[in-house]
Amino acid sequence: MTDRNAIFVADPFWIKHSDEFHMFFEVLNGDNGLGEIALARSDDGLSWRYSGIVLEEPFHLSYPYVFQWQDNHYMIPESGRDYSVRLYRASDYPNDWEYLGNLLSGYRYVDPSIFRHDDTWWMFVGAGEHDVLNLYYSDELETGWQPHPANPVVKNDPHKARPGGRVIMIDGEPVRLAQDCYPSYGLQVFGFRVSELTRTAYAEVPLSEHPLIRGSGSGWNAAGMHHLDPIPTETGWIAVVDGRNR
């Protein structure tokens, strides 16, 4: 980081555009205490060049969930301190982003995670003290978001409620990623296969009893890992992650 007094970086999301990887991530600015969204670039996914801050607001931002739809790039960062879920579109990708409006308002929404399945938009959103997960759906990306009648789809369970990265597809079924936030925030990430998803019903099953990622006990991720953004390749997956050293 060259242009901010960065306390930490976190919540990396990435996307491949043409022959370049773009990674968006939270930077906690030590001068104002606010999270801002930064960009790094890479030709191979391993060596990265920092490119500066691309999105900041007068309130805290994090979890820059970036995705592509109909030749446009969009971002839904967490803006819970604004009591909103905000949608941005790239006006000049990847550096310039324009605010399109609020998808949800009036609550401190946490880590909104959007995906498209069966011609419908879906969004997981955390709530409470890391122990509640709600689900919303809409026919259109920019308008019409409705709460799912099964809400909360996770209740009173800090081990699997808070989103922990991009919703991915495996064999045509959504898999959501969840942080284990007990006894402390961001210890490890589990996967849950969504086995039933309609506008009236919801069910999920764990991918495994073991976490997908967790702290190593030493070094940069000694105390935990709380975020995972995988990209499918011809031979498997590659992912960006973050970690806690204390």
CATH code of the domain in which 90 resides: 2.115.10.20
Same domain (yes/no): 94, 121: no
Same domain (yes/no): 101, 133: no
Contact, 189 vs 212, CB < 8 A?
Answer: yes
Same domain (yes/no): 130, 243: yes
* Tokens linked to 66: 């970036």
CB burial of residue 81 (10 Å; 0-12, 13-18, 19+): middle
Confidence of residue 234 (pLDDT cuts 50, 70, 90): confident
Same domain (yes/no): 74, 52: yes
Tell me what pLDDT residue 230 has.
96
Q: What is the pLDDT of residues 110-145, one digit of tens each?
A: 999 999 999 999 999 999 889 999 999 999 999 999
Same domain (yes/no): 133, 23: no
pTM: 0.96
- 230: preceding bond cis by omega (within 30 degrees): no
Amino acid identity, residue 60? H
Q: What is the pLDDT of residues 133-187, one digit of tens each?
A: 999 999 999 999 999 999 999 999 999 999 999 999 999 999 999 999 999 999 9
Same domain (yes/no): 30, 124: no
**Residue owning tokens 């960006």:** 240
* Tokens linked to 158: 């800090």
* Tokens linked to 59: 């309130």
Give the C-alpha distances (Å, rounded to integers) separating 194 from 170, 186, 191, 222.
10, 22, 10, 30
CB burial of residue 241 (10 Å; 0-12, 13-18, 19+): middle
**Could you tell me which of 112, 109, 153 has the C-alpha nearest to residue 133?**
153
Q: In the chain, how many domains are there?
A: 2
Same domain (yes/no): 93, 188: no
Give SS3 for 81: helix
Tell me which of 46-50, 126-130, 222-226 is least confident.
126-130
The residue from 108, 143, 170 where one domain ends is 108
Confidence of residue 82 (pLDDT cuts 50, 70, 90): very high
The residue from 81, 108, 135 where one domain ends is 108
Same domain (yes/no): 171, 77: no
DSSP code of residue 151: -
Mean pLDDT of 12-35: 97
Residues of the domain holding 139: 117-246
**Could you tell me which of 153, 75, 168 has the C-alpha nearest to residue 117?**
168
The residue from 50, 83, 108 where one domain ends is 108
Amino acid identity, residue 116? R
177: region left, alpha or beta (phi > 0 left; psi from -120 to 50 alpha): beta
Tell me what pLDDT residue 1 has.
84
Same domain (yes/no): 194, 171: yes
Q: What is the mean pLDDT of the chain?
A: 96
Same domain (yes/no): 68, 132: no
Same domain (yes/no): 225, 194: yes
Residue 242 dihedral angles phi and psi, to the nearest 5°: -130, 170
Same domain (yes/no): 42, 121: no
Residue 58: CB atoms within 10 A of its CB come to 8
Tell me what pLDDT residue 72 has.
97
State how far the Cα of 41 lies from the Cα of 47, in Å rounded to an integer: 8
